[in-house]
């Protein structure tokens, strides 16, 4: 089935909240999503599989850097390339806007997301201790950097 990526709209908030609440133990509020629509630094895309709402991604663009701040796929549509399509669209749009380094945080135990990000060129830069609540857990800081930057980052991460 065809994956269709579109800009998110306020009218999609019910579907977005349904997926958010079923995907995270500490979900964002409706107000947190609403706030994004009025601020141009955010890019917010949704994916439909045919006519079915299947997921969303949000990026914050601060050229030359961008951060992936939320990504979720509805459970029945997982493992069908939805997150990959959303991530690729966000990266494309961010690069068009002059962003060439991408950062994100992910729960240390979230192997599905970590594998997804690795597949899309992200590497682990470090950790943030007890970054998440409900339950408390460390975050991995992952980044997708330009060629020269990746070498610098891998040198930095080696013990001296
Ligand atoms: C993480 C998540 C967004 C992945 O979405 P998805 O649409 O299923 O991902 P894709 O189908 O694009 O998967 C791409 C690759 O990611 C990896 N991956 C995805 N799900 C995986 C899983 N459950 N286990 C291991 N690897 C996984 C695989 O490498 C996969 O490629 P493959 O299917 O060819 O093996 C989805 O599981 C989700 O919404 N989880 C809950 C919310 C969440 O954790 N968001 C991320 C917060 S940082």
* pTM for the structure as a whole: 0.94
What are the residue ranges of CATH 3.40.630.30 in the chain? Answer: 1-99, 102-160
Structure confidence at residue 160 (pLDDT): 34
pLDDT of residue 152: 54
Active site residue 65: no
Ligand 1, pocket-test mutation among 73, 139, 143, 144, most atoms within 8 A of CB: 73
Is 117 a known active-site residue?
yes
Pick the CATH number of 102-160 from 3.55.40.20, 2.30.110.10, 3.40.630.30, 3.90.930.12: 3.40.630.30
CATH C-level class of 1-99? alpha beta
- For residue 156, pLDDT over 90 is answered with no
CA of 160 to the centre of ligand 1 (A): 35
User: What are 53-90's pLDDT values in tens digits?
Assistant: 999 999 999 999 999 999 999 999 999 999 999 999 99
3-state SS, the chain, equals CCEEEEECCHHHHHHHHHHHHHHCCCCCCHHHHHHHHCCCCEEEEEEEECCEEEEEEEEEEECCEEEEEEEEECHHHCCCCHHHHHHHHHHHHHHHCCCCEEEEEEECCCHHHHHHHHHCCCEEEEEEEEEECCCCEEEEEEEECCHHHHHHHHHHHCCC
């Amino acid at each position: 089935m065809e994956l269709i990526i579109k800009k998110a709209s306020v009218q999609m908030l019910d579907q977005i909240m349904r997926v958010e609440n079923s995907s995270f133990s500490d979900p964002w509020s409706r107000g947190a999503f609403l706030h994004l629509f009025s601020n141009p630094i955010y890019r917010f895309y949704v994916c439909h599989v045919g006519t079915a709402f299947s997921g969303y991604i949000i990026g914050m663009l601060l050229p030359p850097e961008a951060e992936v701040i939320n990504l979720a796929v509805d459970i029945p549509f997982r493992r069908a390339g939805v997150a990959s399509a959303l991530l690729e669209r966000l990266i494309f749009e961010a690069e068009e806007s002059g962003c060439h380094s991408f950062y994100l945080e992910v729960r240390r135990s979230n192997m599905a997301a970590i594998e997804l990000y690795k597949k899309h060129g992200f590497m682990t830069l470090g950790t943030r201790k007890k970054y998440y609540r409900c339950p408390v857990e460390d975050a991995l800081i992952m980044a997708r950097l330009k060629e020269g930057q990746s070498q610098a980052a891998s040198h930095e991460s080696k013990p001296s």
